[in-house]
Amino acid sequence: HDTRGMGVANAWAALEAGVRRFDASVGGIGGCPFAPGAAGNVATEDLALMAERSGFATGISIDGLLAAVDFAQEELQRPLGGRAITWLRRQREKDQHDNTRRLA
């Protein structure tokens, strides 16, 4: 879980200890009806980005995750809790802008 915002840090420690399977959910969807306001689960996109940027092969398509987050946000009609999503979107926009400038 990511109740205190330490889920990704805990996953990193687990990776260093040899763990290779993790539970997460798109956008951190989840929570507990007995703990109102609890943050819920670690966002899949946060874990995938951390692992990929650290050199681990995940087999996960980051672009596919972005599409899944977009779909889930539309269906739930609310923003989701992943932290990486904002950075990923800005990075994609920057890359597209840079590619457009190169072609001009």
Q: State the pLDDT at residue 98.
A: 82
32 is catalytic: yes
Per-residue pLDDT tens digits for 21-74: 999 999 998 877 777 767 689 999 999 999 999 999 999 999 899 999 999 999
Least confident of 23-27, 67-71, 77-81, 96-100: 96-100
Question: pLDDT value at position 100?
Answer: 78
The predicted pLDDT at position 36 comes to 74
Mark out the alpha helices in 1-104 (DSSP H runs). 7-16, 44-53, 62-76, 84-103
Model confidence at 104, pLDDT cuts 50, 70, 90, reads low
Q: For the chain, what are the domain ranges?
A: 7-103
The CA distance from 31 to 9, in Å, is: 19
Mean pLDDT in residue range 9-28: 95
Choosing from 14, 32, 67, 76, which is the catalytic residue? 32
Structure tokens at 95: 């890359």
